[in-house]
Amino acid sequence: MLVVVAGFAARLNPLLTIVVAALVTGVLAAVVAGADAAGLWRAGVDTLALFGKAFNDNRYFHITWLVLPVIGLLEREGLQERARMLIGKVRAATAGRLLLVYLVLRQATSALGLTSLGGHPQMVRPLVAPMAEGAAEKDQGEISDETRFRIRGMAAATDNIGLFFGEDIFIAIGSIVLIVGFLEQAGIKVEALHVSLWAIPTAIAAFIVHGVRLWFFDRTLRSAAVKGGEA
């Protein structure tokens, strides 16, 4: 933990910081176990081997690195501008309403296990946030940089909430397996299906709470536009 805090405080590469912290943890565990120099070396090698195994077992994540350049190319060719133009043609569109629609889609798809359909780099930055900004500009005219950044932050928060409270409804998601395993270690036996079913009321409550937040967010933007100040 101290290595992670120090690395982030020094603004070092996050991936390098995490790797070093893992190596330090593995070596310290060997020290506590009374290992000699050879044992410490093996502890470091074993820790790196675990990283390699996890990387190999989850190699389908490489697709992300293929998607990001495509998104960057689309942005260069005017994807964000087209998104703003598209939402500008919808009369009833506001930033809050658009984000509410996205929240519905994000929660619904996450509940079906399709967690990769959204996300900050592949959906929020190139599409959702520009469309929300366009809706605000259509509704209120020119917006300030502070308002623009607030809209982007709310778009990112909406994605997080939709994913976090939607994915637990899907029985085969990793979080459900973690909850069941943790409870079993504590001597509490539960079915994964029951955990996912009980996630539904939580997801509904999260949707209502964030929906109200989006409604107030629209009112805040309008109020700021009328006063000619910042949102």
Write down the pLDDT at residue 231: 46
Shared-domain flag, residues 70 and 53: no
Shared-domain flag, residues 115 and 41: no
Shared-domain flag, residues 75 and 129: yes
Shared-domain flag, residues 40 and 96: no
Does 184 have pLDDT greater than 50? yes
Note the pLDDT tens digit of each residue in 85-97. Answer: 777 777 788 899 9
Number of folded domains that form the chain: 2
Shared-domain flag, residues 14 and 44: yes
Predicted confidence band of residue 45 (pLDDT cuts 50, 70, 90): confident
State the residue range of the domain holding 162: 65-227
CA distances from 184 to 178, 192, 198, 201 (A): 10, 11, 17, 23
Q: Mean pLDDT throughout 177-184?
A: 83
Shared-domain flag, residues 142 and 126: yes
Q: Which H or E element spans position 13?
A: none
Note the pLDDT tens digit of each residue in 140-164. Answer: 778 888 899 999 999 999 999 999 9
Shared-domain flag, residues 53 and 73: no
Note the pLDDT tens digit of each residue in 4-15. Answer: 778 777 777 776
Shared-domain flag, residues 36 and 53: yes
